[in-house]
Each structure stands twice: as structure tokens, then as C-alpha cells.
Amino acid sequence: MSRRYDSRTTIFSPEGRLYQVEYAMEAIGNAGSAIGILSKDGVVLIGEKKVTSKLLQTSTSSEKMYKIDDHVACAVAGIMSDANILINTARVQAQRYTFMYQEPMPVEQLVQSLCDTKQGYTQFGGLRPFGVSFLFAGWDKNHGFQLYMSDPSGNYGGWKAAAVGANNQAAQSILKQDYKDDATREEAVELALKVLSKTMDSTSLTSEKLELAEVFLTPSGSVKYHVHSPESLTKLLVKHGVTQPAAESS
Amino acid sequence: MECVFGLVGNGFAIVAADTSAVHSILLHKNNEDKIMVLDSHKLVAASGEPGDRVQFTEYVQKNVSLYKFRNGIPLTTAAAANFTRGELATALRKNPYSVNILMAGYDNESGASLYYIDYIATLHKVDKGAFGYGSYFSLSTMDRHYRSDMSVEEAIELVDKCILEIRSRLVVAPPNFVIKIVDKDGARDYAWRQSVQDVTTAAV
């Protein structure tokens, strides 16, 4: 490991690696996980909250899920302050597009645009990369429901199911086994809860430790981003039998 | 003296423009095509300062192409019209383009549409529109005879009525017109209406 190539973000190591980008991904690997699952009639985003306290005002603050535009939302994993900057950038980009074209920005273009910003921090300027990975969930008239994952390098991909943050590899392999292409939104919620319950470090799953959001179409055809209330979450946890500690689940 | 007009029919839009390239009292050429094919399913009929007209419409055309290459999907007619208007609006506060545009397009989701965009960045979605001195005659004629969902034949009949009115009533009426159409099969030339053709004389 060539430590002497660590400090400058914008140079390659002799092995052809960008260490700062990799270290950023390390930082995310220690942060609260987030999972996204695409279904026929919507996209489900679920996140593990690291900051849990009864004192947290849940109606006004969100740790994991953010709305970018009426038709796009995202879940974050990593350094929250970095995430806030990028979320604002994404929001501005989305509005700029709508100002120019009077139409909602296609989801992939929004993701690409944000990733272009992130890429800049790996090539010039001398500033460190953002320590955030995103899961973007949205709907547009070109491709319907979509899920994208992006990381500090500025790479992104479209996914049917994806996980970021702590234990994301374990979550990803469970998703690979259990994901079904024609699942409904409810089944996707169930899968998300089950996967998170298996991969989360904490001993029991309560609504305090989770944030759950869904992106779907209302009967009138407009896109809705809905974050579950703690009560609704608790009901779902009970319904799918994941409230018990992980060690006792059958 | 430039005449541009257009209308929306049943699943198509038609635009017509005169084909005179004028400089003061001189007619440079009478077969100047002022209706640009913006992309496979869009037409832009433009009138105004000749340099601005070509510069601006080509700028829009190339940006529309760039969007398609970057994003794999074409812009809708509405999006292209709003983009065009935005560019005119931005330039207006510094170096305005003296170009009036009628943008016609066909989108699978929304059918045929026509947008009126004038040089000070007014944007209107319209069923029929016109620019120039000819508009006094073509708009009145279209107001009298236009119905929604006309067939191509009926629309061309109306276009020809407008051309006749312009020719007979406008003091310096342009002699020739080009007509283009856009529908689900794309944007293409429809016809020319020429009352004066270029004369080539044999060497004496």
C-alpha cells in the first residue's frame, strides 16, 4: 500500500488506483446502510438510522431519505454533511432543467449530472471526494420506475435492487437470491425489511432505527413520494415478522 | 415582407413560408428555404434578420441534436419550444435575435402541435399562427376557414387560400412559397408554390 500517494486526491497511484476515492468508500462502509428495490408499481427505499433517540423530531428531520424533485427521491449513506451539499446540487440541477424545458428532468439525466459533479472532485481542484453513496428512486415517462446507485467515484448504475453503507455486500447477495422481477411494491417492502433485519448489526428492529419510503404513481397519474410514519413502520415490522431480535427469527 | 404561417390538423401540422431572400430593394434569390427540419419530427419556420435567422435556428438545431446524443432520447416539441424561448429570453437582455419562429412537431404521446415564438421570447401553443405583413391576411383567412382536425387536403386548401390572399393583397408580396408538413411519419417537404421561377437565358 503506497501511503505516499494518499494525500492528493487527483493523482493516480502506481497501481492505477485513486486512493482518496477508495477511502471515501471505506467511510461509507461504516455508515448506516440503505437498500433500494425496484418493483412493477414503485420503488422502495429503506435506510438504517444511526442516530436514534426519542428526542429526535422525526417529523421535521430526516437522516436517510430526501426528495430531490416531485418525481425523484434518494436515500443516502455516508457523511451527512457531504450528502446535504450534493442533495442541494441535485435539486438545483432538477429545477434548472425544468426551467429550461418546462418538463421534469429524466431520472437518469439527473443522476448523470450529479455524478459528473462528483467526478470533478476526483480529477481536479485538489478537494477531497464526497463521502456519500446515493440510491436514487424515481419515475419518468421514458423508462417508468427506476433505481440508480452512485458512489464517490462518480460512477453510477441502474439497478433492480441495490444496497449501500454498512454490510452492503451481504445485503446485495441476499437481494440477488431473493429478488423477483415481477414483485409488487408491497412484496418489495417486505423484502427490504427482511434483508435489512438480517444485515443490520443491532439486535432488534424497531421503527426508531429505520426510515422507509416509497415512490409510486397515484391513481391520477402523478408521482408520489411517501415516507412512512413510525406507527406505519411498526405495523409493517409486525406484519412481516421482523420485530424480533435477529438471533430469534426463524 | 416575410410571410410565415402554419396550422395544426388531424395528426399533422403544416407550416408555409415565403422563399425570398431580400436585401433592401434587391431580391437575392427566390428559392431560399426558411423552414428548417429541426429533427426527424420537428420543423422550424423562421422569419427575420437573415443572419440571425440562420444563426439562431442552427444553434437550436445543434442543441436539440446534442440532447439526443447525450441522452438517447429526443426532446419533445414542447421541450424544444421552451428551450428555444429560453435562449431568446436570455439573449434579449443583451444581444437580441431578430427572429420569429413557428415550431411545428409531432410527438407520439401528444400528437401534432404548433408553437408561436416571437423575437422577444413570447411563447404560445397555438392551432394556427403567422408572422410578418402576410399575417394580416393569412390569420384572417385562417380564422374564417380553420376547423380543428382538418385533413391534409383541407389544410392545404386553406394554405393555398392564404397564399392567394397574400399574393393578391400584399403590395410587395413574395412570389414563391414552400410548404412543409410534420406527422407521425416525420417532417418533410410537402410542396412549393412558385409563381416566378429563376430564368436562365442561353448564351447569345
Alpha-carbon gap, residue A162 to A135, rounded angstroms: 8
Q: Does residue A131 contact residue A152 with C-beta atoms inside 8 Å?
A: yes
Sequential pLDDT tens for chain A (250 residues)? 556 766 677 888 888 889 899 999 999 999 999 999 999 999 999 999 987 777 887 777 788 999 999 999 999 999 999 999 999 999 999 999 999 999 999 999 999 999 999 999 888 888 999 999 999 999 999 999 999 999 999 999 999 999 999 999 999 999 999 999 999 999 999 999 999 999 988 777 888 889 999 999 999 999 999 999 989 999 999 998 877 554 444 4
Q: Which of B63, B69, B70, B82 is most worth mutating to test chain A (most A CB atoms within 10 A of its CB)?
A: B82
CA-wise closest residue to B75 among B33, B115, B116: B115
Q: Does residue A184 contact residue A192 with C-beta atoms inside 8 Å?
A: no
Q: Note whether B86 contacts A99, CB cutoff 8 Å.
A: yes
Alpha-carbon gap, residue B135 to B100, rounded angstroms: 12
Instruction: Give pTM, 2 decimals.
Output: 0.89
Alpha-carbon gap, residue A63 to A58, rounded angstroms: 9
Sequence-ordered alpha helix ranges (H) in chain A:
19-29, 80-101, 107-123, 168-178, 185-199, 230-239
Cell of A10: 487527483
H helices then E strands: how many in chain A? 6, 10
Write out chain B residues lying below 8 Å of A102, CB-based: 78-79, 82
Beta bridge partners of A66: A74
How close is the nearest chain B Cα to the Cα of A156, in Å? 15
What pLDDT, in 10s, does the model give residues B89-147? Answer: 999 999 999 999 999 999 999 999 999 999 999 999 999 999 999 999 999 999 999 99
Q: Note whether B76 contacts A142, CB cutoff 8 Å.
A: no
A240 phi, psi to nearest 5 deg: -95, 5
Write out chain A residues lying below 8 Å of B109, CB-based: 141
- Strands, sheet with A144-150, edge to edge from the N-terminal-most edge strand: A65-69, A72-78, A132-140, A144-150, A156-158
Complex prediction ipTM: 0.85
CB pairs under 8 A between A and B: 21
Q: Does residue B46 contact residue B59 with C-beta atoms inside 8 Å?
A: no
